[in-house]
Chains A and B, each alone.
Chain A
Amino acid sequence: MERRLSEEDAAFRQQMRDFFTKTFPQDIRDRWHAGGEVGPDDIRASQRILNEAGLAVPHWPTEYGGKDWTTLQRHIYLHEMQTASVPPPLAFNANMVGPVIAAFGSKELKDRFLPATANLDIWWCQGFSEPDAGSDLASLRTTATRDGDEWVVNGQKTWTTLGQHADWIFALVRTNPDAPKKQLGISFLLIDMSTPGVTVRPIQLIDGGHEVNEVFFDNVRVPAAQLVGEVDQGWSYAKFLLGNERVGVAPVGSIKRKLADAKTFAATVRSGDGTLLDDPLLSARIAELECEVMALELTAIRVAGGSTEGKPDPASSILKLRGSELQQDVLELVVDIAGPSGLQWNRYDGTDLESWTRRAAPTYLNFRKASIYGGSNEVQRQVISSGILGLRG
């Protein structure tokens, strides 16, 4: 066991820190740090800057831009990026469809899609959940029927995050309705959103934002070559993807950034003769969150998270579960710190309220999603109890 960073890793960290805090454009970082709804232009610009620096898809195979880093280096990279408030590479591209195409796609698919995916020349969105297929994803009903050299897709997807900006969607579709198990007849299909028959409808969320969508497919014709891997094998690719997604959603650096911000905020809120940061109950709560976030970070470093050899590591469920809970706890703390100032959500001229107080409650409400997406936390507990503890229900 060794606590200290090797000289190589220490130099690596410095290199990451310098890039994210000195080279990367400050104005994009400032907007990301301020929070709220971030425009697609900043996300696109950020990913292209990262990609040019070789930092958009370091976990991909080296021939498509990967860096062959250690788990620790990957953690350092994410940590430094997130604490510097750099918009991360779009998860749908970098963490979801990219690794699936790289692992299971044909050479032709890889060459066609991976460079454009890494550079966000294609904006991907996710077509997994359906109105009747949430946690029970394998019961999905969107169908793809073979017709010559094409698949004809019919059905409906939902909770498609940022689908309004997307160029392409990766979708799970049922290609064999007669398979003996519902998991067996599913395929992984890449669909151009501009194909006739694709309709996107926004869903407004409780924070007022437009982040997720419904996507409808009405006789959408998709070239057969856009099916990833083998037909009817999509479920195993989806599980691989979800294993990766769980790691992506334990954003230790972002949580630490927000917790540090919470202290800064608390020090500006007057309370009695001092500030909220002088309140022993509040500072104890901050101290406790710091302990828990530290434990999470150490665990992220310790367990080999992510999918290995095509299978999700069940340990990634720990990171998803605790990562989402702590993210929510910190955002809840910020609402508490905002106090009565947080009762006002709208922006208007001539206000004495600071913008973080206005955003506190909507952001808190928005991130209730974190324990639902990427496999709800109840599903993660199921993965842990059956996959790790061997408790077969």
Chain B
Amino acid sequence: MDFTMTDEQKALRSAARELAARHAPERGEGDVPVGPHDHDPKTWTAMAEMGALGLPFAEDVGGFGASPVEVSIVAAELGSAGVQTAYADALVAASLLVSSGSQSGLVEAVTDGSALVLPALTEPQRAWSQTFSSMTASQVGDKWVLSGTKEPVLCVGSATHLVVPAQTNDGLAVFLVETPVVSGARVALVETPATLLLDPSRTPAALAGAVNLGIVTLAGEALGAMDAALSMTVEYLKTRKQFGVPLMKFQTLTQRAADMYVSLELARSTVLFAAMQLADHPDDAAIASRTKVVVGRTGRHIGQEAIQLHGGIGMTAEYSVGHLTARLTAIERTFGDPRQHLAILAGSVRDHAMVDVLS
């Protein structure tokens, strides 16, 4: 096992770092946007130009033949600079398009950035599930129509297409909806025409693989955000003075910074490993769940402590550390939260004596 980046991976990281720096949100005084960002076409075009949008997919299906490892490298740079995009969601949707085997034209448009296809997975007032959808699909003649509501679907206002899991008489299937009519982040479909992408026999595996890719993408982004939150905190402890001395003179603060560092390094190992593991085994649900647990816990720890160790300034919208924490809070609850993933893992503790990472 080897955790060191190849020269190509390092080059990708530098390119992503430059891109992220160019498109990083401006902070400062005045009315700073908070919370989830809208889709930014300029950032998205730049990501398409560097090849980020097709990275993990094979070349013969329109991708660039890299893997989740490269995706997590790009995502980490976005996370570190606080650049919020629909990267993880778009990769989930693209993965489903690729799995369908019937959408090569659209996959091409997705990777060159001319189409934005997003998955509509979450439902109002319903806990996360990747195996349940109350959206219903029915056949009218040889055409499919969908009815039901998905919400919130972030950035959906900019989407050209949606990928929607919906219930058929034979079980859960995945459909493609073009130019959806939306209101805010709500997708309410009423007998809306749709194209069948994946029938019920192929849906569970395809959804699991797609969500795993989304999980590792967000884990990479979280890693970058945690890296940034810790280094900002350390810098602040060195420069901010109280009682006439820098904050780093107080062990009650530096000991906590050390704990943040330890958490971060364990999460880093986990994310890098998960990316490598999912590159080889895209359907490994256990590593995806373990990553969600480790990164979720760590994001909470580092995000909360970053604000606390900054004090009041960490609460302000003009300073970025709070935005990083907000993003980590969102990431923790996307594609299932640690509790749900722990419940999944708890159900399978009998299946192995030990977790084996070396094979």
A→B interface (CB under 8 Å): 1-5, 9-10, 13, 72, 76, 79, 83, 256-257, 259-260, 263, 267, 277, 280, 283-284, 286-288, 290-299, 301-303, 315, 318, 321-322, 378, 380-382, 384-386, 388-393
Task: Scan residues 303-345 of chain B and give those whose CB is less than 8 A from a CB of chain A.
Answer: 342-343, 345
Instruction: State which of B55-63, B123-131, B159-167, B268-276 sits at the interface with chain A.
Output: B268-276
Question: Which A residues are CB-close (under 8 A) to B343?
Answer: 280, 284
Measured CA separation A322–B270 after assembly (Å): 14
Q: How far is the CB of A11 from chain B (nearest CB, A)?
A: 13
Cα distance, A384 to B350, chains bound together (Å): 37
The answer on a CB contact under 8 Å between A287 and B353 is no
With contacts A1-B9, A263-B350, A301-B269 known, what are 6 further pairs, Cβ within 8 A?
A1-B6, A1-B69, A284-B342, A287-B342, A295-B269, A381-B255
Q: Which of B248, B342, B357 contacts A288 (CB 8 A)?
A: B342
Q: Which residues of B contact A280 (CB under 8 A)?
A: 343, 346
By beta carbon, the residue of chain B nearest A325 is B262
Contact B346 A287 (CB under 8 A): yes
On whether the beta carbons of A291 and B359 are closer than 8 Å, the reply is no
Given that A83-B354, A385-B255 are contacting pairs, would A1 and B346 also be in contact in the complex, using a CB cutoff of 8 Å? no
Q: Is the CB of A256 within 8 A of B294?
A: no
In the complex the two chains form, what is the Cα distance from A256 to B354 in whole Å?
A: 6
B32 CB within 8 Å of chain A: no
A330 to chain B, nearest CB (A): 12
Contacts of B4 in A (CB 8 A): 1
Task: Give the residue of B3, B248, B261, B359 whose beta carbon is less than 8 angstroms from that of A4.
Answer: B359
Contact of A294 among B259, B270, B353 (CB under 8 A): B270
The answer on a CB contact under 8 Å between A4 and B280 is yes
**Pair A389/B349 contact, Cβ less than 8 Å:** no
Contact of A286 with B255 at beta-carbon distance under 8 Å, contacts A294-B290, A303-B265 already known: no
Contact call A295/B266, Cβ cutoff below 8 A: yes
What does DSSP make chain B's interface, helix, strand, loop or mixed? helix
CB neighbours of B241 from chain A (8 A): none
Chain B residues, CB < 8 A from A72: 1
Q: Which B residues lie within 8 Å of A321 (CB)?
A: 262
Is B11 positioned at the interface, with any CB of A under 8 Å from its CB?
no
User: Considering the complex of A and B, which 5 residue pairs feature the smallest CB-CB distances, nearest first?
Assistant: A3-B276, A298-B269, A287-B345, A381-B258, A385-B254
Q: Determine if B279 is an interface residue (Cβ-Cβ < 8 Å).
A: yes
A-B contact count (CB 8 A): 156
Given contacts A284-B342, A382-B255, contact A302 B238 (CB under 8 A): no
CA distance A225 to B293 in the complex (A): 55
Interface residues on B, range: 35 or more
Decide: A3 near B269, CB < 8 A? Known: A256-B354, A277-B350, A295-B294. Answer: no
Q: Are A389 and B261 in contact, with the CB atoms below 8 A? A: yes
CB of A343 to closest CB in B, whole Å: 26
B359 lies within 8 A of A302 (CB): no
B194 lies within 8 A of chain A by Cβ: no
CB < 8 Å: which of B238, B272, B354, B358 contacts A259? B354
Is B293 touching A302 in the complex (CB atoms < 8 A)?
A: no
Known: A283-B347, A302-B272, A391-B254. A1 touches B3 (CB 8 A): yes
**B258 contacts which of A3, A296, A298, A389 (Cβ < 8 Å)?**
A389
Given A295-B269, A295-B270, A378-B255: A3 in contact with B280 (beta carbons within 8 A): yes
**Chain B residue at smallest Cβ distance from A384:** B258
Interface residues of B in 233-264 (CB under 8 A from A): 234, 237-238, 248-251, 254-255, 257-259, 261-262
Asked whether A389 and B257 contact (CB < 8 A) given A3-B280, A302-B272, the answer is: yes
User: Chain A: which residue is nearest B344 at the CB level?
Assistant: A287
18 A–B contacts from the bound complex (CB under 8 Å): A1-B276, A2-B2, A3-B1, A4-B359, A5-B359, A256-B355, A259-B354, A263-B350, A286-B349, A287-B342, A288-B342, A298-B269, A299-B265, A303-B265, A322-B262, A380-B258, A384-B262, A393-B249
Asked if B267 is at the interface (CB within 8 A of a chain A CB), the reply is yes
Residues of chain A within 8 A (CB-CB) of B346 are: 280, 283-284, 286-287
User: Across the interface, which residues of B come within 8 angstroms of A260, CB to CB?
Assistant: 353-354
B5 proximal to A (CB < 8 A): yes
Distance (whole angstroms) from the CB of B191 to the closest CB of chain A: 41
Q: Give the residue name and chain of the A residue nearest to B234 (CB).
A: A389
Cβ-defined contact, B273 with A390, below 8 A = no
Alpha-carbon gap, A290 to B346, bound state (A)? 10
B228 smallest CB distance to A (angstroms):
14
Kindly state the separation between the CA atoms of A315 and B262 in the bound complex, as whole angstroms: 9
The yes or no answer to B195 lying at the interface (CB within 8 A) is: no
B168 interfacial by beta-carbon distance below 8 Å: no
